[in-house]
Structure 1
């Protein structure tokens, strides 16, 4: 990413809804990319298989 994109991400507030496989990867990449804040929303119940990764 370019400098302008990095600055924009660093000042972004991001909501991620749905924490299945794709949502988890997106959240990980957004956090590692340096977003200012990330809110995670998932209305599903936690299952034993969700704790494996």
Structure 2
């Protein structure tokens, strides 16, 4: 798309590199967020004890 607008291979390479860099940063951030959330959930379970899936069985 960039090539059809600008007719510049240089601009295409820079745009592609920039877009891939943004995607990599977003992916890394989402992985860090998931690790952080899993750690918080694990700490909450450790504080309250194991939870049962079925509330009818005590």
Fold match, TM over 0.5? no
Pair member with larger Rg: 2
Higher helix share: 2
Higher strand share: 1
Normalising to structure 1: TM-score of the pair? Answer: 0.29
**Higher relative contact order, structure no. (Cα contacts within 8 Å, ≥ 6 residues apart):** 1
